[in-house]
Amino acid sequence: MDAARIAVVGGSLGGLTAACLLRDDGHDVRVYERSSRELEQRGAGIGFLEATYRYLVERTELPLDEVSISTDWIRHLDRHGKVAHALEHRYLFSSWNAVYRQLLEHWDLDRYHLGHEIVSIEQRDEFAIAVCADGTRIEADLVVCADGVGSTLRGQFQPDASQGYAGYVAWRGMVPEADLPSEIAGQLTDAITYYVYANSHILVYPIPGIDGSVEPGDRLINFVWYRNYLEGAEFEDLMTDVDGHRRDLSLPPGSVAPHHDAEVRAHAAARLPPVIANVVEHTEDLFVQVVYDIEVDKMVFGNACLLGDAAFAVRPHAAAGTAKAAEDGWALARHLRASEGVPEALAAWEPEQLALGRQLLERTRRIGRRSQIDNTWTPGDPEFIFGLHAPGD
């Protein structure tokens, strides 16, 4: 198809990947980000699946080992820290910041518009108009809505979309490798390390440093700890931050109320294997991400579409959230190349991406139920291997 005017709403990993791909195909692409400054997530770790790193490898020729860390083992510890099960399996891990910086380096910053909060989309016969909070109107042949788990535009297009709290949250944190005792760090840098116990589990793995360095000694040790909180008063109290404000999606570093910070550290010392408890103890600022399920029954609305977490927010257990967003972008670019126009491309793209989102959401729900409720997680079970399309894929 001929070059189109494309507005991408949301400048995070999914939006940037889609923008880069569509620009490379000759389209006139601009990114609109609500934040007034470049994004950051304090280096939070991500499983680095192929769909996520594919753009950097294929289009920028960036060596994978400059933006990620490979591990060779999946290890499960017992309560005393001894290895209860080990499986030789290679994973790649990176950090949100490291990938974001690399994508941004390959984008024209004159086309990355900060401080543009898109609040609605107006449809016309052959184009759409993105309306900013300040009244600015942006006309485009295609609007790609990649505005994340709290998507304003999903609320416009799918106000009754299925969404809900999963019953648990992810406590997270990172520690500089150099800040840990050498014997502790040495046990955690060549593997993803799990401890699974009643109605909870924690995983620990190495990621690039805050500055993106992957050199030994500069890296971070990242943990994700899933803990159940009853919906209602218990959950409400957790999500009330240090200043008394109720948060919906997350508690950023430095905002956790002191009594919850103290409780989670005490629980780590009492219940976790010493090597993992040591990581929690050395974490300066804990933070919390709420685990939600969000599912839509449509992703295309005239000349606009929902992409990534704006359509499906999946539980993190497959490490595939960023990969799903990137795959949405790759598929969109492919269908636009093969079609005569935007409507035809979107009509072919939507059923494929709906099917992918639904199967991924169901798989991560099943893993969450087995680990947090049913207690049927068996070390070595292949269902728990990371992957986008299927475990290990």
Q: Any idea what the CATH number is for the domain that residue 195 is in?
A: 3.30.9.60
**207: β partners:** 220
Domain end point (choices 291, 307, 342): 291
Per-residue pLDDT at 61: 85
The encoded tokens of residue 205 equal: 């793995």
CB-based contacts of 46: which residues, under 8 Å, 6+ apart?
52, 93, 94, 95, 96, 99, 207, 319, 322
Per-residue pLDDT at 41: 62
Domain end point (choices 256, 273, 291): 291
**Whether residues 54 and 145 fall in one domain:** yes
Q: Which tens digits make up the pLDDT trace of 150-203?
A: 999 999 999 988 789 999 999 999 999 999 999 999 999 999 999 999 999 999
**Whether residues 180 and 73 fall in one domain:** yes
The encoded tokens of residue 94 equal: 């990176």
**Whether residues 328 and 261 fall in one domain:** no
Instruction: Name residues of the chain where pLDDT drops below 70.
Output: 39-43
Nearest CA among 227, 186, 167, 182 for reference residue 203: 227
Report the alpha-carbon distance of residue 42 to residue 26 in Å, rounded.
Answer: 33
pTM across the whole model: 0.95
In a domain, 390, yes or no: no
**Whether residues 12 and 155 fall in one domain:** yes
Percent helix, strand and coil across the chain, each to the nearest 5: 35, 30, 35
Q: What is the largest CA-CA distance in the chain?
A: 65
**Whether residues 280 and 344 fall in one domain:** no
Cβ-contact 191, 205 below 8 angstroms: yes
Residue 173's SS3 state is strand
Long-range contacts of 59-64 (CB under 8 A, 24+ apart): 59/20, 59/24, 59/106, 60/102, 60/106, 62/102, 64/92
Domain end point (choices 291, 314, 348): 291
CB-based contacts of 63: which residues, under 8 Å, 6+ apart?
none
In a domain, 92, yes or no: yes
**Whether residues 42 and 125 fall in one domain:** yes
**Whether residues 218 and 360 fall in one domain:** no
Residue type at 381 in one-letter notation: D
**Whether residues 172 and 248 fall in one domain:** yes
**Whether residues 252 and 206 fall in one domain:** yes
**Whether residues 211 and 129 fall in one domain:** no
Q: Any idea what the CATH number is for the domain that residue 143 is in?
A: 3.50.50.60
Q: Which tens digits make up the pLDDT trace of 227-266?
A: 999 999 999 999 999 999 999 999 999 999 999 999 999 9
**Whether residues 83 and 13 fall in one domain:** no
In a domain, 389, yes or no: no
**Whether residues 188 and 119 fall in one domain:** no
In a domain, 393, yes or no: no
Domain that holds residue 357: 5-60+99-163+295-384
Edge-to-edge strand list for the sheet holding 28-32? 112-113, 28-32, 5-9, 142-145, 304-306, 300-301
- State the total domains in the chain: 2
